[in-house]
Amino acid sequence: MAENEVASHAGDAAVLEALFHQSPTNLLVLDTELRILRISLAGPVLYESPPERIAGRHITDVFDLSAPGEVEAMLESVLESGAPARGQLVGVRAKGTPGPEYRFSVSASRLQGPQGKVWGVLAEMLDVTEREKVDARLRILGAVRNNVGQTLDVVATCEELVREVVPCLADIAVVEVVDAVVRGENPPPSPLGPEVPLRRAAFGHSGGEGQVEAHPLGDVRALPFTTPYAQSLADLKPRLVALGPDTPWLAADPPRGEAIRASGAHSLITAPLTLRGTVLGLLSLYRTDHADAYDNGDVTLALSVAAHTALCIDNARRFTREHTIALTIQRHVLLPRPATRTTVETAHLHIPSEAGGGGGFDTFALSGARTALTVGEVAGEGIHAATTLGQIRTATHSLAAFDLEPDELLARLNDTAISLAQERAALPPGDPMPLTGSCAYAVYDPLAQTCTVALAGHPPPVIAHPDGRTEILHLPAGPPLGSAEGPPFAATTFSVADGSVLAFYTSSLLRTSPSPDTLQSVLAQPGRPLQDLCDDMLYRLRNTTHRGDVLLLLARTHTFPADHVAVWPLDHHPKAVAAARTRVQHQLTRWGVDEETAYTTEMIVSELVTNAVRYGAPPLQLKLIKDCTLTCEVHDSNALAPRLRHAKTVDEGGRGLFIVAQLAQNWGVRYSLDGKTVWAEQALPAASLPGRSGGPAGTPFRART
């Protein structure tokens, strides 16, 4: 052999020896049958036999590989093609042992002699276990941050967490939340006492056999004090616990201990769900079977996951609390059961939005046996929308007390909304959206059998006639509430037959209806009870998430009983006062009104007619209406408003309206194109209230002032 060739072989041997003894990576020399010829492991020890006893054994006989078929295919491809393979990730365990699995990046090159003979494969195995653990933990934490907290629901948030940590972080995961937190109440401060109950909100497992729940979902119970669960909530520190059949504290919670033994769990992390020194719940993670035991890196990850989840749970709790408050306010704003009057029957459908919308409706009495019907909504959600709705409702009642026409009332209501919007705009940034809204306001007059409607950016009502025909009334929409610009509001008056049904609704009803004519098809059933119509509409709605409250207010109109109204023309002469008193006395006797009420009514009529004769203009008219109240109305053609005065002792007049105000339950002035009507109402004893044959009697009410 030539001297240079000998030197070359000697150099190759030296390089090979240095590589096997000093390389920081693991090296394996395999023959063409993938049998180990030489091995050098610089990382974790994956075999117990000395290297000389391993020589000649197939690689899969020495190591448990996570994907043995893929590894063999890679090595055989290198042998055949000569193209090196780089960086294939492989999980490796010592053969036949339950030890931890290590992650290696495997690269391979073909060993080939000078004459082209293939000797085998050189496999380089780089230990990337810690790197892969860090990457896996970062992926888990990223997934939790991206996917947990998608809903503002406490239980749903816990379920999202379980879906993200099983099976990548745990074989079994349990989330328990303080029961008060689920209801939206404030979380208790730490340390959590042993008597505080927790609700099992979410449970998940990887699907292995024996993985059963210790307690059912929704179960509420306090945690035994002598367990790592309770201790973790007491000092707000995580616990890393090794589990076994003889773990002593399992006896403190027998159902949980039995479930742990049945699942084969060998490692546990308990991490408290805390935020700003308060306790919201507990996260428990288990590993079973051949999964590696948890280490301190997993504890750090569990704490990060728990911190994000606690923030999401608290956001959901706050939303639940505000949603509950908003619905409570809204329930107080909405009438729980609109009163059925002599001339109007009502029923309603109300489906609150998930966030608590600002929709509302109302029915209330006006003078002259009339009834006001209103439906509307304000922008926004939650407490702010509910309180704004209450402000708008109060303003509506206050304006209605002045007997304003619907268009004029909406104009004044719009001024109020603009004023409230200006106050809101002056609040610090970040406060609720500007105040806007819509409203439909209608007044039904049973004596004239008409209905007057004005809209403020609201959908027009639907009318169902007694013969089954339905139509959408074509009315001017008007600008929405809170608009400083736009056309003036317009009122439309139309005739309403006895037994017609008026339907007022919010736009959300149309968005959740299967078709635009769904409401009309439901209403085209004359004679059905109104609540049945509301239920029928409910059953047809699509079960979809909607923004804004779904509201439907139905009103069936009736004519006023002719024998409960008396109308007399009066002469514009002082003698008209005595004539009016005589006619009223006879009429009240026919109606069976008691003497005390009759005497008071005569005095009221005397004062109203006297004022009309003295300050009004002909023609004069006196009207008595016996409804839920006894109403006296005196009409004259002078639009000048009467004024209540407090007369001095020496004054001879000026006490008329003062006397009326003292005797009547309520009084006011209603204007029309041909003058004004001054009216006064008195309460009637229950025995005197009128009823409709075949229907319920009218419910007593007090007119708003």
- Give Cβ neighbours of residue 189 (< 8 Å, ≥ 6 apart): 277, 278, 279
Clarify whether residues 420 and 551 are in a common domain.
Answer: yes
Say if residue 538's pLDDT is above 50: yes
pLDDT bracket for residue 703 (50, 70, 90): very low
The residue segments making up the domain with residue 275 are 133-323
What's the residue count for the chain?
705
What percent of the chain shows pLDDT beyond 70? 84
521 and 579 inside one domain: no
Query: Which residues in 509-543 are b (16+ Cβ under 10 Å) and which e?
Result: beebbeeeebbbebbeebeeebeebbebbeeebee
The b-or-e profile of 416-427 (16+ CB within 10 A means b, else e) is bbeebbeebeee
428-464 residue pLDDT tens: 655 455 678 899 999 999 999 999 999 999 999 999 9
Co-location of 544 and 617 in the same domain: no
Say if residue 648's pLDDT is above 50: no
Q: Is the pLDDT of residue 701 over 70?
A: no
Query: pLDDT band for position 4 (50/70/90)?
Result: very low
Asked if 77 and 184 sit in the same domain, the reply is no
pLDDT at 195 over 90: no
Q: Is 468 left (phi over 0), alpha (psi -120 to 50) or beta?
A: left
Report which residue type is found at 344. V
Number of domains in the chain: 4
Give the residue-averaged pLDDT of 629-635.
93
In the structure, what pLDDT confidence band is assigned to residue 571 with cuts at 50, 70 and 90?
very high
The CATH number linked to 573 is 3.30.565.10
Q: Are residues 670 and 532 both part of a single domain?
A: no
Domain identity same for 390 and 505: yes
Query: C-alpha 466: how far from its chain's center?
Result: 39
Q: What is the CATH number of the domain that holds 237?
A: 3.30.450.40
> Is 483 found in the same domain as 351?
yes
The pLDDT, as a whole number, for residue 699 is 32
523 and 544 in a common domain: yes
Q: Would residue 397 count as lying in a domain?
A: yes
What average pLDDT score do residues 107-115 get? 84
Q: What is the mean pLDDT of the chain?
A: 84
More confident residue, 20 or 680: 680
Q: What is the pLDDT of residues 146-193, one digit of tens each?
A: 999 998 889 999 999 999 999 999 999 999 999 989 888 888 888 887
- Find the angle CA(152)-CA(157)-CA(162) to the nearest 5 degrees: 170
CA distance to 84, 333, 387, 547, per residue, from 379 (Å): 66, 16, 12, 10
Residue 148 forms part of a structural domain: yes
Q: What average pLDDT does range 685-695 have in this prediction?
A: 52
Residue 702 maps to a domain: no
Domain boundary among 93, 127, 161: 127
pLDDT at residue 169 in the model: 93
What pLDDT was estimated at residue 46?
A: 66
